[in-house]
């Protein structure tokens, strides 16, 4: 049974959830299996989370699949992950699109093999007839990279004469970071028990609500998501104001 009341949830649902899907390795190690087994099982949790977001009418989900720092892992593990991404794209994209999922990859894809880049480009071109969920996969993504690419883009605009340097402000910068066209990030979830951001959406996190779960990613499911949603629904987002101001607007 669901732990959140759907009637309340509708107005108090996050419009954009981002998840650091952490804990695959430890999940596998606890079962005396190779880390790659945990990554494979993690794909099932992705499927369950996507389905749960669609059912809950959460319109935007951003998943951290591979950080700009994950290249430092043993070559074998990086290879397994790349293969897994390719297979997951081949196997899942058509069904995702048929179910109303609009897919996008965020991050520096120039580091990926051409075969993977092609799959990414190709799957982004497949648009659902009616979008029920914007699903963003962060791959070779780093929050600092994102800020730097926005700065470079703005600098190029200034050099071309399209942007007046005096007009650079937070809202212009905001328009140049990844996912600028989607709803602002409302809820940041990290599984796996670590309480850190690990260079995920640094700029976009400014006013996101944070939820940390000890659940290891392969065990994450609709019930675990509901626990985060229920907690989010109870929070008062003050953005610098007082609670009084929010409850009794002038
Ligand atoms: C997250 O799980 C998946 C990726 C970073 C690709 P981990 O592989 O980091 O799992 P733990 O943290 O070692 O358990
Ligand atoms: C963050 O997890 C990246 C992804 C989940 C893709 P990590 O496991 O790489 O983070 P750290 O190294 O523990 O900070
Ligand atoms: Mg980890």
pLDDT in tens, 180-231: 999 999 999 999 999 999 999 999 999 999 999 999 999 999 999 999 999 9
Residue 90 covered by a domain? yes
> Does residue 23 come out as left (phi exceeding 0), alpha (psi in the -120 to 50 range) or beta?
left
Q: According to the model, what pLDDT value does residue 243 have?
A: 96
Residue 147 covered by a domain? no
User: What is the position in ligand 2's atom list of the atom closest to the CA of 22?
Assistant: 5
Q: According to the model, what pLDDT value does residue 250 have?
A: 84
Give the separation between CA 49 and CA 228, rounded to whole angstroms. Answer: 12
User: What is the position in ligand 1's atom list of the atom closest to the CA of 27?
Assistant: 14
pLDDT in tens, 37-56: 999 999 999 999 999 999 99
Give the separation between CA 131 and CA 61, rounded to whole angstroms. Answer: 13
Q: Scanning the structure block, which residue is given the tokens 């669901």?
A: 2
Ordered alpha helix ranges (H), the chain: 6-9, 24-29, 35-56, 75-98, 114-125, 143-160, 170-174, 222-233, 243-247
Domain holding 197, by residue range, is 6-142+184-235
Give the full edge-to-edge strand order of the sheet including 133-141.
101-106, 133-141, 60-67, 16-20, 187-190, 209-212
Share of the chain above pLDDT 70, in %: 96
Whether the per-residue pLDDT at 151 is higher than 60: the answer is: yes
Domain of residue 193, CATH code = 3.40.1180.10
Residue 76 covered by a domain? yes
Residue 149 covered by a domain? no
Distance 224 CA to ligand 1 centre (A): 18
Domain count across the chain:
1
Whether the per-residue pLDDT at 5 is higher than 80: the answer is: no
Residue 125 covered by a domain? yes
Q: Is the CB–ligand 1 distance for residue 22 below 6 Å?
A: yes
Residue 126 covered by a domain? yes
Q: According to the model, what pLDDT value does residue 83 have?
A: 98
Q: According to the model, what pLDDT value does residue 6 have?
A: 58
Residue 135: which H helix or E strand, with range?
A: strand 133-141
Q: Is the CB–ligand 2 distance for residue 64 below 6 Å?
A: yes
**Mean pLDDT score across all residues of the chain:** 96
Residue 154 covered by a domain? no
Q: Is the CB–ligand 1 distance for residue 80 below 6 Å?
A: no
Distance 22 CA to ligand 2 centre (A): 6
Residue 54 covered by a domain? yes
Q: According to the model, what pLDDT value does residue 1 have?
A: 46
pTM for the model stands at 0.96
Whether the per-residue pLDDT at 8 is higher than 90: the answer is: no
Cα separations in angstroms, 152 against 17, 29, 38, 177: 27, 41, 37, 11
Q: Is the CB–ligand 2 distance for residue 199 below 6 Å?
A: no
Question: With bands split at pLDDT 50, 70 and 90, how would you rate the model's confidence at 3?
Answer: low
Give the separation between CA 250 and CA 236, rounded to whole angstroms. Answer: 18
């Amino acid at each position: 049974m669901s732990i959140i009341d759907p009637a309340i949830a509708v107005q108090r649902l996050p419009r954009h959830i981002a998840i650091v899907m952490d804990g695959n390795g430890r999940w596998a190690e606890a079962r005396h299996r190779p880390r790659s087994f945990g990554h494979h099982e993690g794909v099932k949790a992705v499927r369950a989370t996507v389905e749960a977001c669609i059912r809950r009418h959460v319109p935007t989900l951003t998943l951290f699949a591979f950080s700009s720092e994950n290249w430092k892992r043993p070559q074998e593990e990086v290879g397994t992950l790349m293969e897994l991404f390719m297979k997951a794209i081949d196997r899942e994209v058509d069904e995702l699109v048929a179910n109303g999922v609009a897919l996008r990859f965020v991050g520096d894809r120039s580091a990926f093999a051409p075969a993977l880049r092609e799959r990414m480009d190709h799957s982004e071109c497949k648009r659902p007839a009616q979008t029920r969920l914007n699903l963003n996969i962060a791959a070779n993504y780093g929050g600092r990279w994102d800020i730097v690419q926005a700065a470079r883009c703005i600098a190029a605009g200034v050099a071309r004469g399209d942007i007046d340097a005096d007009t650079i402000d937070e809202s212009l910068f905001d328009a140049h970071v990844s996912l600028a066209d989607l709803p602002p990030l409302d809820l940041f979830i990290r599984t796996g028990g670590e309480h850190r951001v690990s260079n995920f959406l640094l700029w976009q996190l400014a006013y996101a609500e944070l939820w940390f779960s000890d659940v290891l990613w392969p065990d994450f499911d609709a019930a675990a998501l509901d626990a985060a949603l229920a907690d989010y629904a109870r929070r008062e987002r003050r953005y610098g104001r007082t609670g009084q101001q929010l409850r009794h607007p002038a």
